[in-house]
Structure 1
Amino acid sequence: MASLLPIIDDILPMILPSSVSVTKSIDIIPPIPPVIQIADGGTHRVRVYSRDAVVNKLDNVCSTVLILSPTSYSTIRHYGEQDAIIYVALGSGVLLTASKDEEEGEPERHELRQGDFAAVPAWTEHQVLNESPEQDTHWVIIRSGSHPVEVHLKGWGRGKAEYPPSRA
């Protein structure tokens, strides 16, 4: 049986159909920051927004782009059973992760600059910050699984979910 494995590896790509899926940057990152209408008729620039990049295209991996405006931050969250790799594509920022010492309660601070990667294991509580007063930060988040799972929390320390995962 072991002798068939190399043959199977050579034959399967010829038998199974495959197609490449391309997501254009213009579909992920709009040319101008998104704006929402507020109740009094005015508008407000969205300071933190997420866009799907590759979702439901592959069985074992997906990716999103998280964009933080200057001096903004994401919610505290975890990705459930999904492991994640976070890449800083533009700007610099801070990745806060739950403290290893739950008694202390202060999150660990990881300074990241453009081009840096961080591996975030499943169930790890974390938050991303853009402390720059001038530049957006673009984070590329690659997760195990065909679609992203996000659980937004009320606070650190295994807090209860504020609302269910943003994507099913």
Structure 2
Amino acid sequence: MDELGEGSRDVRNTYLSGELRASFGHIGSSMSDLDIIFVTVVCTHTSILTASTFNQSRSSTPTMPSHEQKPVQVAEASSLKASGGQTGGMIRQNAFVDVADNICGLRMIAKPHSSSDVHHHGDQNTIIFAHSGVGIVVSEGGNKRVTLHPGDFAFIPAYAEHQEVNESDEDIVWSIVRSGGSPCTVNIDGWGKS
């Protein structure tokens, strides 16, 4: 580098600690900590950009990727009907199925004092969000019980055998998201029989 501007320092190949960054305060009030971090990264790659160039690039308008813009879809609660992979004791209602290759969503209702069959969801990971009621997910061969209260989330890995249980006097309602375009449910005859 030929000559640095007044008050500038050559910081190539230098890691700047918080104390060192603070000592750069005399460069000018237009420089921020973000600018200093950027300069450090740029200098470790032996390229030179000025703070004004960086500020211009930060203020440029982001561009949208060039894919087809698809419309937002809504599945109204009143339109959901029992469908898709069912397991005893539970009512599963498809909300979004076959609208994307890698995700689907449904609602599950468990009536009071009911339990599902032991089952898994094949190669699909599952996320549960508990809307109402207190429900239980049984797993690990029937040895582990996890209680879900309204507002709780649960993650069920692909092929994990489990069972949903409602021991209460009210319905439980869960939203379920799976990592496939259409929900997969594999009912089995008991723990470890898949």
TM-score by length of 1: 0.70
CA contact (8 A) 1:21 1:57 kept: no
Q: Classify the secondary structure of the residue corresponding to 1:111.
A: strand
Q: Classify the secondary structure of the residue corresponding to 1:128.
A: strand
Residue of 63, 84, 92 corresponding to 2:126:
84
Structure 1 partner of 2:113 = 71
Q: Classify the secondary structure of the residue corresponding to 2:70.
A: coil
Structure 2 partner of 1:10 = 63
1:1-168 alignment runs, 5 A limit: 10-12=63-65, 14-28=66-80, 48-99=90-141, 106-132=142-168, 134-157=169-192, 159-160=193-194
Long gaps (5+) in structure 1: 1-8, 31-45, 100-105, 161-168
Q: Classify the secondary structure of the residue corresponding to 1:16.
A: coil
The Cα of 1:29 is off from its aligned counterpart by 6.7
The Cα of 1:58 is off from its aligned counterpart by 1.9
Q: For 1:48-88, what per-residue CA distance to the aligned partner results, in whole angstroms no more than 9, with x for missing partners?
A: 31100111112221011111110001111111111110111
Structure 2 partner of 1:5 = none
Q: Classify the secondary structure of the residue corresponding to 2:128.
A: strand
Q: How many residues align?
A: 128
2:150 partner amino acid? Q
Distance change in 2, residues 1:15/1:66 (3 Å): closer
Cα distance in structure 2, aligned partners of 1:150 and 1:60: 16
Cα distance in structure 2, aligned partners of 1:98 and 1:27: 35
Runs of 4+ in 1 over 4 A off after TM superposition: none
CA contact (8 A) 2:89 2:116 kept: no
2:187 partner amino acid? H
Long gaps (5+) in structure 2: 1-61, 83-87
Cα distance in structure 2, aligned partners of 1:142 and 1:156: 23
Counting aligned pairs with the same residue, the percent is 34
Q: For 1:126-164, what per-residue CA distance to the aligned partner results, in whole angstroms no more than 9, with x for missing partners?
A: 1100000x210012110001111110111001x14xxxx
The Cα of 1:107 is off from its aligned counterpart by 2.6
Cα distance in structure 1, aligned partners of 2:70 and 2:123: 27
The Cα of 1:123 is off from its aligned counterpart by 0.5
The Cα of 1:11 is off from its aligned counterpart by 4.0
Highest relative contact order (Cα 8 Å, sep 6+), 1 or 2? 1
1:62 partner amino acid? C
The Cα of 1:15 is off from its aligned counterpart by 3.9
Distance change in 2, residues 1:67/1:108 (3 Å): same
CA contact (8 A) 2:117 2:187 kept: yes
